[in-house]
Structure 1
Amino acid sequence: MRKRVPFTGGEKESLHVALDRHRDAVLWKLEGLDDEQLRRTMTPSGTNLLGLVKHLGGAELGWFCETFGRETGPLPFDFDVDETSDMRVEPHESTGDILEFYGRARAAADKVIDELGIDELGKSWSGDAVSLRWVLIHMTTETSRHAGHMDILREFIDGSTGDHNRG
């Protein structure tokens, strides 16, 4: 069943559900596709569906965990070597590896969301103080932006459109 942002819910709950709706749309965009389709580059920059999932996993760990002093666990990319490595799926990385990474990132982010208050402050990668509220808004925007990219890529692959399974 599709998640719905509560019409009268609390701020933190509403923001978390909004993020979850877009996270679920990201995963739905992968359903029914084979490995070649998931890795197929569809833009001159090399964008593909699985690379966007890898990027979003890194963003979740960075914004929720690093910002609030939590461990991220191992990352499948190295920004010191290549600042776009989070968008690229390497030949040795399986679809399962990327999905496991995204699931782990999502679970770690959810733990931070559950444990902290909406006004709790952390330190962003740029050194700025940011609240959990700001991070929730930022990651909802980031995830919805890339879910939109994924919608276009998926339409080019097999004609599927929409943000959730209507079946």
Structure 2
Amino acid sequence: MVKHVPFTGDEKQSLHASLDRHRDAVLWKLDELDDDALRRPMTPSGTNLLGLVKHLATVEYGWFCTTFGRETEPFWFDPFTEDMLVATSESTTQIVEFYSRARAASDATIAELGLDDLGTAWNGNQVSLRWVLIHMLEETARHAGHMDIVRELLDGTTGDHPHT
């Protein structure tokens, strides 16, 4: 079922619903593809669907958890240089579950903090939860768009949600 941003929701609810909508589009881009297709580099820089999911999980943990002093799971890779790279030892299930756990940790932060609550970003800037929600909405939408292009190149599938 496709999620929609509520027409009369409050600011936090609307931002969160929009983020969830794009998160779901990210996962939908993986549907019905085999492991080789998910890992196939489709740009000169090596962009592939599974690498984008790994990256989005990493940045969700970074922005929603680390920024606000909340725990993250230990990464088995260097998050600054390997977050878009998928090793042969990393399974599709491992990456998708990593994204699911990152989303859950982020959702807990969103639920427990107010939009004006502040944290300290990796670069030392103080940022509000509102700013992080907007930033992650932009980041997720941007990469969902990349995934749309990669998926179209793989098998012709387009759109931001399944057509029912």
- Which whole-Å deviations, capped at 9, do the CAs of 1:108-132 have from their partners, x for residues lacking one? 0000000000100000000000000
The alpha carbon displacement at 1:76 in A equals: 3.3
Equivalent position of 1:155 in the other structure: 152
Structure 1 residue 4 and structure 2 residue 27: aligned? no
- Which whole-Å deviations, capped at 9, do the CAs of 1:125-152 have from their partners, x for residues lacking one? 0000000000000000000000000000
Equivalent position of 2:135 in the other structure: 138
Which amino acid counterpart does residue 11 of structure 2 have in structure 1? E
- In structure 1, the residue corresponding to 2:83 is in which secondary structure? helix
Decide which of 110, 115, 118 is 2:112's aligned counterpart: 115
The alpha carbon displacement at 1:77 in A equals: 1.9
Equivalent position of 1:41 in the other structure: 41
- In structure 2, the residue corresponding to 1:136 is in which secondary structure? helix
Percent identity reads 69
Which amino acid counterpart does residue 113 of structure 2 have in structure 1? L
Equivalent position of 1:165 in the other structure: 162
Hey, what's the Cα distance between the residues in 2 that align with 1:9 and 1:77? Answer: 38
Aligned length in residues: 164
- Which whole-Å deviations, capped at 9, do the CAs of 1:42-93 have from their partners, x for residues lacking one? 11111100000000000000000000000111113214xxx33000000100
Equivalent position of 2:82 in the other structure: 85
Moved more, 50-59 or 1-10: 1-10
- In structure 1, the residue corresponding to 2:119 is in which secondary structure? strand
CA contact (8 A) 1:76 1:86 kept: no
Which amino acid counterpart does residue 151 of structure 2 have in structure 1? R
- What is the 5 A alignment of 1:27-66? 27-66=27-66
- In structure 2, the residue corresponding to 1:78 is in which secondary structure? coil
Question: What's the RMSD between the two structures over aligned residues?
Answer: 0.7
Equivalent position of 1:106 in the other structure: 103
Which amino acid counterpart does residue 2 of structure 1 have in structure 2? V
Uncovered stretches (5+) of structure 2, i.e. residues with no partner: none
CA contact (8 A) 1:41 1:48 kept: yes
**What is the TM-score normalised by the length of structure 2?**
0.98
- In structure 1, the residue corresponding to 2:76 is in which secondary structure? coil
Equivalent position of 2:73 in the other structure: 73
Hey, what's the Cα distance between the residues in 1 that align with 2:32 and 2:155? Answer: 10
Hey, what's the Cα distance between the residues in 1 that align with 2:138 and 2:163? Answer: 23
Uncovered stretches (5+) of structure 1, i.e. residues with no partner: none
Which amino acid counterpart does residue 17 of structure 1 have in structure 2? A
- In structure 2, the residue corresponding to 1:130 is in which secondary structure? strand
Hey, what's the Cα distance between the residues in 1 that align with 2:45 and 2:13? Answer: 36
